[in-house]
């Protein structure tokens, strides 16, 4: 019986990304480029023996083969092994684009690894690319041996295949007979020692690549370890060849490896393996938002700059109006304005990989309903927020606390005082003081003069620090504060009002010990056009973070630019000194058809280089909103335009703030769009 290489998994290299150093006729494998004579299939009932290169066939006959006599190459074209007997470079060193890995403690090794993942949708373009997705075990000492259950996309056949691999006993890469699998099927990969527990250098292993949906599999039983011990585990790997554009990757933007269980050589499960994200592709072309996410025992490998992490369906929430907060690594918390069990909104938790948990559904009076502002993660490990309406006193709003396990307590119901002197409708959420435990915020209506308040909540007692519009009807101090408060230097809180002020189009104020100072009146320039902006939107960006003594924010209206489809000023980005000097950093609709965005409703964030990021709720390439980047020099780049696909599965009309986590990615929400047009949570690699 002769063994032949099989092109279902290993194909002749082609395409513009093929390294020039790789000779003609070499085949692509999950371990780099190999000479055809060094790529061998092991039939289902055959066994790769430990005294390789030898195969024991089903009829017990043993076939001895010559070792590989040719070098093999990494994906970048470097020689990995000149000839059999030399140690190969570790596979992750120059062959894989990204992975999550963990190394065993000294003196121990691994005995078993399992993982499950879904077959992604096919790529939308075909450049004869090969894409591999897999977990695996490897050794770091001696001749490299790698055991992997591998899912492979072959552009040459336009299909997904599944097989088990063993590289590289005798310099040969061995694989089982591949089976065809369909998009959406669940794959389970297993690598396990074929010895009793406690055998640290087990000579034979079982590798299984199974389609759990159909029950088919492609396995290598009793395959040799070539005397190696496996002390390097990979929870998820992306490897690619001949990719020329990002659409050559699967259309789902991310593959998540879940059900990850790692065992030591005693076959005891290892609690909480510390998977380390590794990106090997800083100079890889094209750059497609490569990132590795690790959260709650899952590994996600990304291959697109934008990813919809979750689409709301109503039952789990609908229409998230606020942004997200990240109280702990790998997780985010947010709210939806509606949806949930009573359609009154929810609090949710989502990991950076997209594992979603609905933590609380608001029930309405006497509990609150319809949260609109962002949550505030506090030092006591709880989160604090506000609902716009609901509460014990009717539809007036509440302050609430929610624990990490989702236990919600209503701390205060507005309109508890005669004439609603304590305010009504806290649309901007709350600000928590970690030193005192006090909670601060604004209400957009009622209060002493019926146009909103600034409040302090301490130990169960709410104090109105300021009531807006003490001089009606012009309200020179402002009215209708819609956003939350932020801390500045010292004890000063800063905020905005949407209306009122000297020109009726909103103000920016500071307040300390109940004394309010109006720092700026919007629409002070340009007459009715309000070239300096009008109706400030989201929360301000605090100067205390950067020490430059400026506040940064957006206005949802105003600015000098008009044009189809908008015929009035559609918003600005500004900075203002603590002395009240305002500088307009950017005016939206500066591009034809407002492709740079319109109507920014959320606030801003700032990265370590001084770039500002934010969202617009309309405009952009598809008039459904954008994510933008604004450099310190004032140059704006549209990072993403929403509704880039029919039906807006990527979301539409973001209203809330962005958040940037330590991985450098931006996370946010859209109010509409997604699979049910009820909003999304997204991640974006800027």
219 dihedral zone (left: phi>0; alpha: psi -120 to 50; beta): beta
- Average pLDDT on 513-538 reads 93
> Higher confidence at residue 14 or residue 462?
462
What's residue 78's pLDDT?
A: 82
Number of domains in the chain: 1
Which residues sit opposite 496 in a β-bridge?
A: 508
% of residues, the chain, pLDDT over 70:
92
Closest CA to 127 of 20, 279, 248, 4: 248
What's residue 4's pLDDT?
A: 37
How many CB atoms sit inside 10 A of residue 381's CB?
Answer: 10
Which residues sit opposite 298 in a β-bridge?
A: 295
Which residues sit opposite 174 in a β-bridge?
A: 40, 166
The reply to whether 111 falls in a domain is: yes
Kindly report, residue by residue over 174-205, the tens digit of the pLDDT: 899 999 999 999 999 999 999 999 998 899 99
pLDDT over threshold 60, residue 30: yes
CB 241 within 8 A of CB 183: no
The DSSP 8-state label assigned to residue 672 in this structure reads B
Kindly report, residue by residue over 278-298, the tens digit of the pLDDT: 988 777 788 898 999 998 789
What's residue 7's pLDDT?
A: 38
> Which DSSP string do the residues of 614-670 spell out, in sequence order?
EEESB-TTTTS-EEEEE-TTS-EEEEEES--STT-TT-B---S--EE-TTS-EEEEE
The reply to whether 119 falls in a domain is: yes
Which residues touch 329 (CB under 8 Å, ≥6 apart)?
661, 662
Mean pLDDT of the chain: 90
Kindly report, residue by residue over 216-252, the tens digit of the pLDDT: 999 998 888 888 899 999 999 999 998 989 999 998 8
Which residues touch 472 (CB under 8 Å, ≥6 apart)?
449, 451
The reply to whether 530 falls in a domain is: no
Kindly report, residue by residue over 350-385, the tens digit of the pLDDT: 999 999 999 999 999 999 999 999 999 999 999 999
The DSSP 8-state label assigned to residue 14 in this structure reads -
Kindly report, residue by residue over 332-350, the tens digit of the pLDDT: 999 999 999 999 999 999 9
The reply to whether 671 falls in a domain is: no
The reply to whether 270 falls in a domain is: yes
C-alpha gyration radius of the chain: 30
Report the range of poorest mean pLDDT among 141-155, 257-271, 443-457, 608-622.
Answer: 141-155
What's residue 25's pLDDT?
A: 86
Q: In what order do the strands lie in the sheet with 254-264?
A: 217-224, 204-211, 186-193, 110-118, 254-264, 298-303, 290-295
The reply to whether 662 falls in a domain is: no
How many CB atoms sit inside 10 A of residue 86's CB?
Answer: 13
- The label of the residue with tokens 């591009």 reads 591
What's residue 192's pLDDT?
A: 97
Domain of 95, CATH number, reads 2.60.120.700
Q: Which residues span the domain enclosing 275?
A: 27-304
Kindly report, residue by residue over 436-492, the tens digit of the pLDDT: 999 999 999 999 999 999 999 999 999 999 999 998 888 999 999 999 999 987 889
Closest CA to 95 of 53, 125, 134: 134
The reply to whether 418 falls in a domain is: no
Kindly report, residue by residue over 546-570, the tens digit of the pLDDT: 677 899 999 999 998 875 566 568 9
- Average pLDDT on 657-686 reads 95
The reply to whether 175 falls in a domain is: yes
């Amino acid at each position: 019986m002769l063994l032949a290489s099989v092109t279902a998994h290993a194909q002749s290299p082609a395409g513009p990304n093929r390294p020039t150093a790789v000779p003609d006729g070499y085949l692509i494998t999950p371990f780099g480029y190999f000479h055809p004579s060094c790529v061998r299939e092991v039939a289902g009932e055959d066994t790769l023996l430990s005294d390789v290169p030898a195969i024991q066939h089903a009829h017990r006959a043993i076939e001895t083969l010559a070792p590989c006599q040719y070098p093999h190459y990494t994906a970048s074209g470097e020689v990995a092994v000149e000839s059999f007997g030399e140690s190969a470079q570790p596979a992750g060193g120059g062959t894989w684009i990204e992975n999550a890995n963990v190394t065993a403690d000294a003196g121990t090794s691994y005995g078993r690894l399992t993982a499950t993942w879904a077959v992604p949708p096919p790529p939308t373009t075909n450049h004869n690319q090969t894409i591999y997705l897999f977990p695996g075990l490897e050794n770091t000492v001696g001749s490299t041996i790698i055991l992997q259950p591998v899912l492979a996309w072959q552009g040459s056949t336009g299909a997904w295949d599944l097989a088990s691999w063993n590289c590289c006993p005798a310099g040969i890469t061995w694989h089982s007979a591949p089976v065809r699998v369909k998009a959406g099927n669940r794959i389970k990969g297993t690598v396990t020692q074929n010895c009793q527990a406690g055998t640290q250098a087990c000579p034979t292993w079982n590798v299984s690549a199974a389609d759990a949906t159909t029950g088919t599999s492609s396995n290598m039983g009793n395959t040799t370890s070539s005397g190696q011990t496996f002390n390097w585990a990979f929870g998820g790997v992306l490897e690619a060849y001949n990719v020329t554009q990002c659409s050559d990757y699967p259309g789902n933007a991310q593959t998540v490896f879940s059900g990850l269980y790692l065992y030591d050589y005693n076959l005891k499960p290892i609690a909480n393996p510390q998977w380390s994200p590794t990106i090997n592709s800083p100079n890889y072309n094209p750059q497609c938002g490569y990132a590795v996410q690790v959260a709650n025992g899952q590994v996600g490998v990304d291959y697109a700059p934008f990813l919809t992490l979750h689409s709301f369906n109503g039952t789990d929430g609908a229409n998230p109006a606020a942004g997200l907060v990240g109280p702990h690594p790998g997780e985010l918390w947010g709210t939806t304005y509606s949806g949930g069990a009573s359609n009154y909104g929810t609090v949710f938790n989502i990991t950076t990989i997209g594992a979603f948990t609905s933590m609380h559904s608001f029930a309405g009076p006497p509990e609150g309903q319809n949260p609109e502002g962002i949550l505030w993660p506090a030092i006591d490990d709880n989160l604090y927020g506000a609902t716009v309406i609901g509460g014990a006193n009717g539809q007036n709003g509440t302050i609430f606390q929610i624990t990490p396990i989702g236990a919600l307590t209503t701390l205060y119901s507005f309109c508890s005082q005669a004439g609603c002197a304590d305010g009504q409708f806290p649309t901007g959420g709350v600000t928590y003081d970690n030193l005192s435990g006090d909670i601060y915020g604004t209400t957009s209506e009622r209060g002493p003069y019926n146009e909103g308040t600034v409040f302090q909540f301490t130990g169960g007692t709410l104090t109105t620090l300021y009531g807006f519009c003490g001089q009606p009807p012009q309200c020179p101090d402002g009215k209708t504060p819609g956003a939350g408060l932020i801390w500045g230097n010292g004890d000063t809180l800063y905020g905005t009002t949407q209306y009122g002020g000297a020109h009726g189009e909103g103000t920016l104020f500071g307040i300390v010990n109940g004394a309010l100072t109006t720092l700026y009146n919007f629409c002070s320039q340009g007459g009715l056009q309000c070239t300096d902006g009008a109706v400030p939107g989201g929360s301000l960006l605090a100067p205390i973070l950067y020490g430059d003594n400026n506040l940064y924010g957006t206005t949802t209206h105003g600015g000098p630019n008009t044009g189809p489809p908008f015929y009035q000023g559609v918003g600005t980005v500004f900075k203002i000194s603590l002395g009240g000097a305002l500088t307009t950093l950017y005016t939206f609709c500066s591009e034809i058809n407002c492709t740079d965005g319109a109507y920014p409703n959320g606030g801003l964030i700032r990265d370590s280089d001084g770039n500002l990021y934010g969202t617009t709720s309309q405009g952009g390439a598809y008039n459904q909103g954008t994510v933008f980047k604004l450099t310190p020099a004032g140059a704006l780049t549209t990072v993403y335009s929403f509704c880039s696909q029919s039906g807006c599965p990527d979301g539409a009309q973001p209203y809330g703030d962005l958040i940037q986590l330590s991985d450098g990615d931006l996370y946010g929400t859209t109010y509409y769009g997604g699979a049910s047009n009820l909003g999304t949570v997204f991640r974006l690699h800027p």
